[in-house]
Amino acid sequence: MKGSGKGEGGSRSPTDIDRLVGVNVRKLRIERNLTLAELAAQLGISHQQLQKYETGSNRLSAGTLCNVAETLGVTIEFLFRPNEASSAERQGADALEELRSEGSYLLSRARSEETLRQMVMVLKALSSKS
């Protein structure tokens, strides 16, 4: 099954879908305040390789795609979504899902039980006010 759009010169050439995934990875990395080097280290790859994925010049393997999604705290499907609007312009369920994903990601970065407890206490306090 071939990808859609330009870049279908060979079976291993990046496609428009590869570029879309790369754009989404970059967007998530920036939203998570991670540098290329930081995310690459978490993924166990070089920052140069991550940059090639983000620009769409290299294709992500299925295993790497799974690792990227898990590391960024999103579903694999999320990485394939078109970016029709910025985060500020999104409404409804998509905005809530994106925020929940980001919250989950941030909670997963807690390095100690005490830090996680403090984060949960803040969330509980904020949720009781809504």
Q: According to the model, what pLDDT value does residue 91 have?
A: 62
Gap between the Cα atoms of 59 and 57, Å rounded: 7
Q: According to the model, what pLDDT value does residue 125 have?
A: 87
| 109 and 70 in a common domain | no
Total of domains in the chain: 2
| 15 and 78 in a common domain | yes
- CATH number at 45 reads 1.10.260.40
5 secondary structure, DSSP code: S
Do residues 16 and 5 touch, judged by C-beta distance below 8 A?
A: yes
C-alpha to C-alpha distances, 37 to 4, 43, 46, 104, nearest whole angstrom: 30, 10, 7, 22
| 103 and 120 in a common domain | yes
Tell me the average pLDDT across 82-93: 59
Which residue range is the domain that position 112 belongs to?
Answer: 90-130
* Of residues 13, 95, 25, 2, the one with CA closest to residue 57: 13
pLDDT tens for each residue of 11-29 = 678 889 999 999 999 999 9
3: amino acid identity, one letter: G
pLDDT tens for each residue of 69-79 = 999 988 899 89
| 58 and 103 in a common domain | no
0.85 exceeded by pTM:
no
| 110 and 48 in a common domain | no
Q: According to the model, what pLDDT value does residue 1 have?
A: 41
Do residues 27 and 19 touch, judged by C-beta distance below 8 A?
A: no
Structure-block tokens of residue 65: 């795609």
